[in-house]
Amino acid sequence: MNDDPVIDVKSGDLTSGDLSFLKSLVSEGPKAQATAGQVFMTAGILYGVQCLLNWLGIVMKLNWSPLVWLLVGFGPTALFILALVVIIWRGRGDQPQGVAARALNAAYTSAGVANLFVVAVFGYNAMQEKSMVLWLLYPAVICIIQGSVWYVAFMIRRKPWLMAVSAGWFASGLALGGLIHNISAYLLVLGVTLLVLMGGSGWYMLRTAQK
């Protein structure tokens, strides 16, 4: 038996069950977006700045100390892990309830899991072959995966901005694939991509959730 509430459009009468159902549809978006938005914004800013600092160090031929390079290399990851723990702890009670929210959460989570396996495959083979080219292909593939995830989000939510973000990720993946032999341009494109498409999207998600 289907227990979902049925709304009589002709009569316009709404039962308390109907109202609860509609309320859940309205509220599930912000609840699902808030935590994800904070994660995307934090990751986009930290790793975007990291790429741009590396780009700046190359084009300006900055003679940074090994300690500075170490902080640039590992600092963003340490800060992100710390921020992730805080964000998840604060949002532990805001679990997605609706079907659409759960589908989006599953899509973003699956992308994160795929990221772990992709980095393991590319990292291992890059070390075995001693090839920087293999390692530089990894972010390009991740951009394409992100494009797929954001396209799923567009198909679920039907928001034009989600389609724009998806197209941006796909375009960035193609651009990075063609710039692996131009490391300064590669880092610049990757840094801007992370700041705009990941950090900017996260900020917008958080902003709309707060409204």
CB 96 within 8 A of CB 148: no
pLDDT per position as a tens digit, 123-144: 889 888 888 888 999 999 999 9
pTM for the full model?
0.78
pLDDT per position as a tens digit, 151-196: 988 988 889 999 999 999 999 999 999 999 999 999 999 999 999 9
CB 86 within 8 A of CB 53: no
Q: What is the mean pLDDT of residues 66-77?
A: 89
CA distances from residue 209 to 5, 20, 23, 164, 181 in whole angstroms, order as listed = 26, 20, 15, 19, 41
Residue ranges per domain, the chain?
Answer: 33-210
Give the integer Cα–Cα distance in Å for 188 and 134.
Answer: 19
Give the integer Cα–Cα distance in Å for 127 and 8.
Answer: 63
Let me know the angle formed at the C-alpha of 168 by 167 and 171, rounded to the nearest 5 degrees.
85
Residue 4: per-residue pLDDT: 42
Confidence bin at 112 (pLDDT 50/70/90): confident
